[in-house]
Structure 1
């Protein structure tokens, strides 16, 4: 038996490489190469050269930018080979560190690629370097190199280094000598050329170029999805920008912050301390905020251990860009991003809590939350699939990172005022959040600061929505903040007002309605449509609908009884809706045991059943479904089965069905068990119908009632 975590891990790993990436836009790629020759790279090359080198993408793209920044295929292939040789000869695999040490000893001097961190040895009054993969430390590094590269002191930097070996008989001596050190980063960028080249692209083309630059295929995203993806870049281009993104697993939330830029650092939410983040009172050394443009806290929602002093200092920093050490006050420009996974659907959170439900209690302080400028709705982001990765050309990420860093000193926050005016009821802090998000998006999409009225409107509305999502959740948490009515709206030059709502507010009005919001008419909210159970299909369970045998009708939910139902080959009128759903309504935990969920049509059957459960339940409730099945025995089909199950799991999670998978090769019986007292013994499992005809308009393709039973079987309903 494969336990649950192993099964899901296997599903995720195999699914990531199952499908080929989609082709790129050739015309756009040609324009990109013409305007930014030498500063762009084909994004699928990163995967081609990575091998077993566990390094950020910006390190690989730095090397590709040196050798393969071209659209000439011969040059690209030669460049790929050069980068592969560099990685093979110089990148230090952690499990081969002893071999590399031996090479350095034998040669006397050897060039390596490794992550380097520097500390100050106060007793010896020297700086000492530690090499992460090579696993050597206490290597003397000169003060001038440290002064030129202060990030070595905090978080570490990927570098190309020459290491020498000089044995010493001195007790405690270190034989390793640092011959040279070069951080992996571009020397500089021509921002004026960047502005001029931007003019050659339409707004849509430029957005697609940015999407390809962060490794995503723009064809797989709609306009809103692209804006969400690009919002993750705002902390790199906007000083002191505070952002939260909560959403399901596997949507690439942390990818931008771990792979995109050498100017940002991704740390686990549980690893940060007051001394590491702000200042070490013992040494007086400034922490991460003094050296990085963006600090992202991964798995922030899972961090249940919190230091209240850290929360308090962070609260002051998020609001005022300052922090104190004793009587001294320091300022910094680092933006902060808080990333976490959600375990519930949006309607569930709206009904039972708020959209910050997953955060640790210490961070659900309204005063802390009010410092957040934008909330990215991570639940709108689809799980990452292979076809979502770009094969087109994009900026070498290090080049783009330097451009964005250069623009941090600019401010586009007021550029909307040429066309629009925010409502006066929007507080100063709310306006700051809106303005900073708008400014960041303008710098990314319209770097010269010039945009049309419609383009400005799109970015302004998106910025307002992100801040409104923050504020509405705060109002749920703290009733004392409800006294002053706020209208998140803006007017145009003609004086016409336009209200902005969040997408979840429009989608779930009956759950989003706040009793204190006088702007919402109670009667209108009461009439809002709600999702209900589907109506029964006329004639689907009557004797006249069966061929060869009478099909007993399932009793209403309140009159469910134990018993069995028999079916014969060729019979139709049978669906999960009348066969299974009445006995599954109201269950919150369901276990489906069926050894044969392998082929695509069997996966389709499972998905149909789960979709019925999703429609029948209340929007705000969730159902846990455990599928116990057996793994495909033929290797050529195994990956397809696992990818299929992952896809079903992802689709189910989006509608409040939390499906887990467990592989068990010993099972034989087919059954469904619920936590509210029913067991359904399925003679043939879920796969009961004949294959529909090749006619694409065959009704049996869309409705189970029109399918014919493949062979005779019985279903037993047992109360347990």
Structure 2
């Protein structure tokens, strides 16, 4: 390699857009080019807000020379002062030899009751027991819960006393913005129209707004509401890789992300043995990562305290009742498609049993449908200008005490049968989005309606699932009236896409419920009319597609196995994906199919093998969206002889050429063959259809 692993290539200077020019003009000194974080980060495991704090000090400019000088300065600061765990002993030696050295590290403080002193522990440096003065702890109480990234001067004085710690804290400065001018912020906001402002916020998060739809942008902005709204309860469940937890770990020094499995009553609320307050007393946002998982063990007492806190904003410490303002965010992964969840359970299906409780769920103000959020891709990241995240974090924090929930009432009125709890959820989401998008209150009637509809939809998604769980709750008409008494109903996207499953009978029976053996009857009927035997196809023949050739034989199967040693090149992977698409078109969207591919690794070098892996991973991700669980098994190069497809319904299809039956196509997007298989020429091949009795038919005595 020509470069060492720690070297980072210089960022390509992007062409500045009109929006970038306006951002720098109206918010000088508090914006930064978002691709610079990657340029300076290297292998430092440090949150983005720490890096952007430093970039904001030295590179908050649109002048290229200033930016490059700032990058060099920040890199130098990180190289000299950021503590890598692997180099902690070297840093300790530096402190000892110099007597004093400045470091950047995560600092956690605890009270040593026996000695009646506060003691600091440095996460990466690996030292603890460092005395911290009481005024420092009073000024920065978050040091006591979860820790804070700080710039510190550490001194070394050795003593003959064994009990003495040789490390002294010379100075400590949490990495947070020192000042914020709200009037300047509101004045500058007036210089942007709504579209520009949304795009500025998207770039501040780190995303390229051009690759997001309007609705997609709103999902990202809702993730900011817990930072701007007190006691806001948000849930987001969806596939992996959509960035659900990123904003709560990287975006703000006022948020704390913890694993859902690490939650305890003392850590979250209060330790009754010493009376110490937990995370909700110090942080604006407490986010629970990896919250989903049916089999996860949960503490029933924690769930009860959490339900009370989410409803009443308070918790008990012995005989004393305490209030807190922390918003609660719950993010987790789903393992099934939306129609599958709707058909078999509900959209909270993945939650542990203790949380799959109407009383808990009813405390949630908004449900972000994570299945609508795109999986993060490289082109989604921004190289434009956005707020230094510490600046926008302080902006949001400064507005937490304000209430914008009534700003829609001069134009619209909510449905009268919306309950108080439903109304609270709608109001808090509406208030949060108003503060984020229109902090000065200057929103048109149409803009207010857009936010109101989005807020209603998110609460409706919560309530509709509760109605599926608890049949005693009354149905609710979600919508609003304008001043002319015109009614506007609000629905969810999944309600429109899957009406059959969304409106399931609440007693638990399925719509148009079929006999228990309906599937086997359908399989038998369909199989009876299919050809069995051998067929040959000629070179150059047209008019053949996977639908007639294969899919008709795969319908009704829940398990399919494909044996094909040659799924390694792009066109071969595309053939497989087209077969998956065809299978998906022929199945019930609420059903899942397990599809297994047995193939061989590409033997033509590591680069081509890596490409093969990439193709198969992308197919797995795309197939999951269609309700097809795709798995791959690699066999030895000499172990596969016959290419075939077999199903749990008894069909076995022998494929002479595997799936690679089509001749090479042109690359023109206007060639019909690229879209329609029947317009493609064939390679010569043969196929044999064999059918054996399946297990279901044996059970029926067929």
How does the TM-score come out when normalised to structure 2? Answer: 0.91
Give the Cα separation in 1 of the matches to 2:447 and 2:144.
42
Distance 1:135-1:674 versus aligned 2 partners, 3 A rule: farther
| Residue 199 of structure 1, aligned match among 168, 190, 203 | 190
Aligned to 1:184: 175
Aligned to 1:363: 355
- Would you say the 8 A contact 1:220–1:388 is kept in 2? yes
- Would you say the 8 A contact 1:21–1:387 is kept in 2? no
Give the Cα separation in 2 of the matches to 1:663 and 1:125.
62
SS in 1 for 2:465: helix
Q: CA deviation at 1:24?
A: 7.2
Q: Output the aligned Cα RMSD.
A: 2.2
- Would you say the 8 A contact 2:653–2:687 is kept in 1? no
- Summarize the alignment of residues 551-570 of structure 1 with structure 2, pairs less than 5 Å apart: 557-560=527-530, 563-570=533-540
- Greater relative CO, 1 or 2 (CA 8 Å, sep 6+): 1
| Residue 657 of structure 2, aligned match among 684, 690, 696 | 684
Aligned to 1:577: 547
Give the Cα separation in 1 of the matches to 2:687 and 2:337.
36
Aligned pair 1:586/2:556, yes or no?
yes
| Residue 646 of structure 1, aligned match among 607, 612, 617 | 617
Q: CA deviation at 1:713?
A: 4.5
Aligned to 2:569: 599
Aligned to 1:531: none
Aligned to 2:77: 86
Give the Cα separation in 2 of the matches to 1:364 and 1:223.
31
- Would you say the 8 A contact 2:103–2:152 is kept in 1? yes
Q: Out of 666-675 and 42-51, give the one that drifted further.
A: 666-675
Q: CA deviation at 1:659?
A: 2.0
- Would you say the 8 A contact 1:383–1:650 is kept in 2? no
Q: Out of 595-604 and 285-294, give the one that drifted further.
A: 595-604
Give the Cα separation in 2 of the matches to 1:156 and 1:268.
16
Aligned to 1:3: none
SS in 2 for 1:479: coil
- Would you say the 8 A contact 2:534–2:686 is kept in 1? no
Give the Cα separation in 2 of the matches to 1:316 and 1:25.
50
Give the Cα separation in 1 of the matches to 2:405 and 2:316.
28
Give the Cα separation in 2 of the matches to 1:22 and 1:639.
30
Give the Cα separation in 1 of the matches to 2:15 and 2:408.
34
- Would you say the 8 A contact 1:120–1:127 is kept in 2? yes
Aligned to 2:305: 313
- Summarize the alignment of residues 31-110 of structure 1 with structure 2, pairs less than 5 Å apart: 31-110=22-101
Aligned pair 1:494/2:465, yes or no?
no
Aligned to 1:422: 414
Aligned to 2:470: 478
Deviation string for 1:122-155 (max 9, x for gaps)? 1111111111111111111111111111001001
Distance 1:265-1:167 versus aligned 2 partners, 3 A rule: same
Deviation string for 1:238-280 (max 9, x for gaps)? 0000010000001110111111100001000010100000000
Aligned to 1:545: none
SS in 1 for 2:631: strand
Deviation string for 1:144-176 (max 9, x for gaps)? 111111001001001111112222222233222
Distance 1:579-1:404 versus aligned 2 partners, 3 A rule: same
Aligned to 1:619: 589
- Would you say the 8 A contact 2:230–2:400 is kept in 1? yes
Deviation string for 1:213-256 (max 9, x for gaps)? 00111111111100011000000000000010000001110111
Distance 1:333-1:709 versus aligned 2 partners, 3 A rule: same
How does the TM-score come out when normalised to structure 1? Answer: 0.89
Q: CA deviation at 1:694?
A: 4.8
Give the Cα separation in 2 of the matches to 1:349 and 1:508.
11
- Summarize the alignment of residues 329-348 of structure 1 with structure 2, pairs less than 5 Å apart: 329-348=321-340
Aligned to 1:224: 215
Q: Out of 69-78 and 497-506, give the one that drifted further.
A: 69-78
Alignment: residue pair count = 666
Q: CA deviation at 1:630?
A: 3.8
- Would you say the 8 A contact 1:682–1:716 is kept in 2? no
Aligned to 2:320: 328
- Summarize the alignment of residues 165-564 of structure 1 with structure 2, pairs less than 5 Å apart: 165-302=156-293, 304-482=296-474, 485-515=475-505, 557-560=527-530, 563-564=533-534
Distance 1:356-1:182 versus aligned 2 partners, 3 A rule: same
Aligned to 1:608: 578
Q: CA deviation at 1:184?
A: 0.8
Q: CA deviation at 1:196?
A: 0.3
Aligned to 2:628: 657
Distance 1:53-1:509 versus aligned 2 partners, 3 A rule: same
Q: Out of 564-573 and 175-184, give the one that drifted further.
A: 564-573
Distance 1:635-1:428 versus aligned 2 partners, 3 A rule: same
SS in 2 for 1:194: helix
Aligned to 2:644: 671
Aligned to 2:700: none
Aligned pair 1:153/2:165, yes or no?
no
Q: CA deviation at 1:26?
A: 0.6
Q: Out of 388-397 and 72-81, give the one that drifted further.
A: 72-81
Distance 1:65-1:694 versus aligned 2 partners, 3 A rule: closer
Aligned to 1:111: 102
Q: Out of 662-671 and 65-74, give the one that drifted further.
A: 662-671
- Would you say the 8 A contact 2:467–2:506 is kept in 1? no
Structure 1 residue runs without a partner (length 5+): 1-16, 527-554
Aligned to 1:536: none
Distance 1:694-1:94 versus aligned 2 partners, 3 A rule: closer
Distance 1:514-1:678 versus aligned 2 partners, 3 A rule: closer
Give the Cα separation in 2 of the matches to 1:146 and 1:663.
57
Give the Cα separation in 2 of the matches to 1:210 and 1:78.
26
